[in-house]
């Protein structure tokens, strides 16, 4: 276990080197979502296979989450973006940097790409969207309802019965985060990037959605907003695509990294045929949509 000081924030970081001991072909920076998420969602899904494919893998618990410090205030989006930028400055990742963001982690990744376009080679956003006034209003509603509901034992008992003890533990931790910090009020009050700043993001973007997710409806908007964006859809999945369909997300990720010029190695690299989403998992995704201008 390692910790870095990110301008006063004690941040839990995990770093995986390529499994074969050779220099990394590139770096994958894995950014998790809000409340019930942590770097563990990547550690037990994508991270080991990406290291086996020859990448350096950089994961961290965002402020207030996992084993990172939980300050009482300071949870606006721009502070999460600054944390990611400082992490890259402190870590000095090897080779091109590819950001993989799950849910809110994708929003943070878009924010960094808008601020530091020369440092981000590509973004793979899983069930995510860039920050906007509509995003802030939606998060305001979600966080206020979560703050009100997760303080009640009957809610946690319902979560245990419906989703199991592990999910209930995550929900209880999320309730403590909301009760002990200003996160629920800070996120909606974030300094949002302008549409012009988002349109200036030039790196390639792959947006992955579950077909049953509400976010899938915004695919056309995102494809129109970003200069080089492709959307793809995992059938039968809702918001938890990463943990519910990790093999499909992994294969999409490996194919995407290869398409960006990353020379993958090891057993995972040989599982996919060259080309865009070809091979044995083609029947597990719906066609992609691409917008390149």
For 222-250, the pLDDT digits (tens) are: 989 998 999 999 999 999 999 999 999 99
Token pair in block for residue 266: 């090891």
CA distance 30 to 257: 14
pLDDT at 192 over 50: yes
Residue-level pLDDT at 166: 83
pLDDT at 198 over 80: yes
Provide the mean pLDDT of the chain: 90
Note the pLDDT tens digit of each residue in 140-184.
999 999 999 988 898 888 878 888 888 888 889 999 999 999 999
Which phi-psi region, left, alpha or beta, contains residue 164 (left: φ > 0; alpha: ψ -120 to 50)? left
Summarize the confidence of residues 56-68 as an average pLDDT: 98
3-class DSSP assignment, residue 28? strand
Helix extents (H) in 30-152: 40-43, 47-52, 77-91, 104-115, 133-149
CA distance 206 to 139: 23
Note the pLDDT tens digit of each residue in 65-98.
999 999 999 999 999 999 999 999 999 998 899 9
For 249-269, letters b (16+ CB in 10 Å) and e give: bbbbbbbbbbbbebebbbebb
CB 77 within 8 A of CB 108: yes
CB 75 within 8 A of CB 186: yes
Token pair in block for residue 31: 């950014």
CA distance 49 to 57: 10
pLDDT bracket for residue 99 (50, 70, 90): very high
Reported pTM: 0.92
The residue with tokens 């960006």 is: 260
Note the pLDDT tens digit of each residue in 201-217.
989 999 999 999 999 99
What residues does each domain of the chain span? 2-130+192-292, 132-189
Residue-level pLDDT at 79: 98
Residue-level pLDDT at 155: 86
For the chain, helix, strand, coil in percent to 5 are 45, 20, 35
CA distance 192 to 115: 12
Token pair in block for residue 241: 């695509």
Summarize the confidence of residues 248-255 as an average pLDDT: 96
Summarize the confidence of residues 104-127 as an average pLDDT: 97
CATH H-level, domain 2-130+192-292: superfamily: Alpha/Beta hydrolase fold, catalytic domain (3.40.50.1820)
Helix axes 153-163, 165-180, angle to 10 degrees: 150
Residue-level pLDDT at 88: 97
Residue-level pLDDT at 30: 98
pLDDT at 7 over 50: yes
């Amino acid at each position: 276990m390692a910790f870095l000081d990110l301008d006063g924030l004690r941040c839990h970081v995990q770093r995986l080197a390529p499994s074969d001991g050779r220099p990394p072909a590139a770096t994958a920076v894995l950014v998790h979502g809000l409340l019930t998420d942590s770097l563990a969602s990547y550690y037990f899904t994508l991270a080991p296979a990406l290291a086996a494919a020859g990448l350096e893998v950089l994961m961290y618990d965002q402020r207030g989450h996992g084993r990172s410090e939980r300050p009482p205030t300071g949870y606006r989006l721009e502070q999460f973006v600054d944390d990611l930028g400082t992490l890259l400055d402190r870590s000095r990742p090897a080779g091109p940097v590819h950001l993989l963001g799950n849910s809110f982690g994708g929003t943070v990744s878009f924010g960094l790409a808008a601020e530091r376009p020369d440092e981000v080679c590509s973004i793979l956003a899983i069930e995510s969207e860039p920050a906007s006034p509509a995003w802030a209003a939606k998060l305001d509603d979600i966080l206020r309802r979560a703050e009100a509901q997760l303080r009640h034992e009957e809610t946690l008992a319902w979560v245990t019965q419906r989703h199991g003890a592990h999910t209930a533990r995550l929900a209880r931790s999320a309730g403590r985060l909301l009760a002990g910090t200003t996160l629920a009020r800070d996120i909606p009050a974030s300094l949002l990037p302008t549409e012009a700043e988002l349109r200036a993001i030039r790196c390639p973007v792959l947006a992955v959605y579950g077909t049953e997710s509400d976010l899938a409806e915004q695919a056309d908007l995102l494809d129109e907003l970003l200069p080089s964006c492709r959307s793809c859809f995992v059938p039968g999945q809702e918001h938890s695509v990463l943990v519910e369909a990790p093999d499909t997300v992994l294969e999409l990720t490996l194919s995407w990294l290869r398409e960006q010029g990353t020379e993958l190695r090891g057993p995972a690299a040989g599982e996919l045929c060259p080309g865009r989403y070809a091979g044995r998992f083609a029947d597990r995704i719906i066609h992609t949509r691409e917008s390149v201008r």
